[in-house]
Amino acid sequence: MTTPVWQYHEPDHPGADFDAMAEIYDRNMQKYRDVQGEIDEVLNFLDLRPDQSILEIGTGTGEFALAAARHCHKVYAVDLSAGMLRYAEKKAGARGIANVELLPGGFLTYRHEGEPLDGIVSQIALHHLPDFWKQIALLRMAGMLAEGGKLCLRDVVYSFDPAEHEKFLDDIISKAAEKAGPQFANSISEHVKKEYSTMDWIMRGMIERAGFEIQQVKKSHGFFALYLCTKTSKKEF
């Protein structure tokens, strides 16, 4: 299938060159995030059965996909970055996990060929798309899910008061520097400057209009949000 000339070209996304940094990314995430806590939070909501299959989009180094594979039949784990996929493949081999299929693809290009999915997870990846294309990505995800299927979407999403953005951003960046050093603080500045994080009210609107009911929103630091959703039959524009 040819890609239309007007379609957003996903590999052009602003931000880090993930291909070149898989190992460093993996190490930094263990340092800066509660990786196991985040995995448990998503797995608790998915409540997977051994016969179920899920998809993760923007899997990165595959930490969530590999953990989820122990609780279900199959995990399709998709990413644009060949370097991230290679690294995730190595980890799957080292951990003896054979039911994760690591596949090249993006939010706008991955085509799911198997049965409708029981769950879709995406973490810290959707902000790589501008808002219109986030909406298209969410509609595509709803289309790949079985009725009643679940969506877990975690991302850098803003819920601070934009009228106070200067103080908020200065504070969050200086706290990041104190806690995790100048390199991490710089990655936050670069994220705010160049990437497409949107506001919580917009994200909630896009999720609902794509045909999901939001069961729970967990926001943290005015800067991150996790949306735990189920597919409904309603779409509205």
Ligand X SMILES: C[S@@+](CC[C@H](N)C(=O)[O-])C[C@H]1O[C@@H](n2cnc3c(N)ncnc32)[C@H](O)[C@@H]1O
Binding site for ligand X (CB under 6 A): 10, 13, 18, 29, 57-60, 79-81, 84, 106-107, 123-125, 128-129
Whichever of 41 and 232 has its CB closer to ligand X, that residue is: 41
Measured from the CB of residue 177, what is the shortest distance to ligand X in angstroms? 20
Measured from the CB of residue 60, what is the shortest distance to ligand X in angstroms? 2
Whichever of 37 and 50 has its CB closer to ligand X, that residue is: 37
Measured from the CB of residue 231, what is the shortest distance to ligand X in angstroms? 20
Distance between start and end Cα atoms, the chain: 27
> In sequence order, what DSSP letters do the residues of the chain get, joined into one string?
-PPPTTS--GGG-SS--GGG-HHHHHHHHHHHS-HHHHHHHHHHHH---TT-EEEEES-TT-HHHHHHGGGSSEEEEEES-HHHHHHHHHHHHHHT--SEEEEE--TTT----SSPEEEEEEES-GGGS-HHHHHHHHHHHHHHEEEEEEEEEEEE-B-S-GGGHHHHHHHHHHHHHHHH-HHHHHHHHHHHHHS---BHHHHHHHHHHTTEEEEEEEEETTTEEEEEEEE-S----
Whichever of 124 and 199 has its CB closer to ligand X, that residue is: 124
Measured from the CB of residue 51, what is the shortest distance to ligand X in angstroms? 25
Whichever of 10 and 89 has its CB closer to ligand X, that residue is: 10
Measured from the CB of residue 33, what is the shortest distance to ligand X in angstroms? 8
- The residue of the chain with the least Cβ separation from ligand X equals 60
Whichever of 140 and 231 has its CB closer to ligand X, that residue is: 140
